[in-house]
């Protein structure tokens, strides 16, 4: 009986030992794969601090190494192809911090990656033009930074279903001598940064015309940076579509209204550029119809 018990214990120890040795093999393999991916990221110019932050978020979420690899592999491939990747990794961080399931993060990241490649296919030929190179900082070493930011901003618009063709046409419009002569690289980059906040998908011609007028009319980086918030404020105050507001701003630009005054008008909800509080014709409302808290039927 004692011999039987000993045999049973030996068998149990052997089974446990095999299982114990097998589990680390899998975990070790996953760790090595993630370490290799982190090394590739470093070699491609991605800051290791970002990768370490992602690892920490992964641990906090209880995700596997493989799940994290699936999220960051596309960004590493972008960096290896000399394409900007930081905006993609920032979205991964954002998704992890907000508790978004990895099954939703990965498809979105793949979409952003594809949009980035499409954006580069539009931006690179444009920025290679001599007249564009000169204004985009090629001579003072800022060309690569400007290019990367243009690719990032264009990719955000493409990811929101703005066609690469419309991005290409916008850049072509901006590349006209009449525009380049009145602006500079940082202003152009800031203008492209807000394309995804404008009705480019539904009103491409209006949006292109607005951006060109804004650049020619003296809008600088600081105005473009404030523009999404100003448009949002104007929309809330006036309760009219964004496209109508942009048309109103375009009219002000055409009349030579200074950029600073236009921004003030937007924050005041003054779409037409008249006295403060001015409401466009037909939008003065009816006391018996709705209120600011109810927009139904008043689009």
> What backbone phi and psi angles, to 5 degrees, belong to 291?
-160, 180
Q: What is the pLDDT of residue 253?
A: 87
Rounded to the nearest integer, the mean pLDDT of the chain is 83
In angstroms and rounded to an integer, the radius of gyration of the C-alpha atoms of the chain is: 27
Cα separation, 83 vs 148, whole angstroms: 7
Position 160 pLDDT exceeds 50: yes
Per-residue pLDDT tens digits for 170-224? 999 999 999 999 999 999 999 999 999 998 988 999 999 999 999 999 899 999 9
Q: What is the pLDDT of residue 299?
A: 35
In angstroms, the CA 87 to CA 121 distance is: 17
């Amino acid at each position: 009986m004692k011999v039987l018990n000993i045999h049973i214990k030996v068998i149990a120890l052997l089974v446990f030992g095999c299982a114990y040795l097998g589990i680390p093999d899998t975990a070790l393999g996953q760790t090595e794969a993630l370490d290799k991916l982190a090394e590739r990221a470093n070699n491609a110019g991605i800051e290791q601090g970002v990768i370490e932050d992602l690892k920490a978020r992964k641990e906090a979420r209880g995700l596997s190494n493989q799940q994290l690899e699936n999220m960051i592999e596309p960004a590493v491939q972008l960096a290896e192809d000399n394409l900007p990747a930081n905006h993609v990794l920032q979205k991964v961080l954002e998704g992890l911090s907000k508790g978004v399931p990895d099954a939703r993060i990965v498809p979105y990241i793949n979409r952003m990656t594809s949009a980035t490649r499409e954006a580069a296919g539009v931006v690179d030929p444009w920025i290679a033009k001599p007249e564009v190179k000169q204004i985009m900082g090629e001579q003072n070493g800022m060309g690569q930074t400007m290019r990367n930011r243009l690719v990032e901003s264009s990719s955000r618009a493409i990811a929101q279903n703005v066609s690469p063709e419309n991005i290409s046409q916008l850049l072509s419009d901006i590349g006209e001598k009449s525009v380049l002569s009145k602006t500079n690289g940082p202003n152009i980059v800031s203008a492209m940064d807000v394309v995804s906040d404008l009705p480019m998908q539904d009103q491409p011609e209006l949006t292109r015309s607005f951006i060109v007028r804004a650049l020619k009319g003296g809008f600088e980086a600081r105005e473009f940076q404030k523009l999404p918030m100003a448009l949002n404020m104007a929309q809330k105050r006036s309760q009219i579509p964004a496209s109508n507001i942009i048309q109103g701003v375009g009219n002000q630009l055409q009349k030579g209204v200074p950029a600073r005054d236009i921004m003030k008008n937007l924050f005041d909800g003054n779409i037409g550029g008249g006295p403060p509080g001015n409401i466009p014709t037909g939008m003065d409302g009816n006391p018996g119809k709705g209120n600011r808290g109810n927009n139904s039927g008043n689009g």
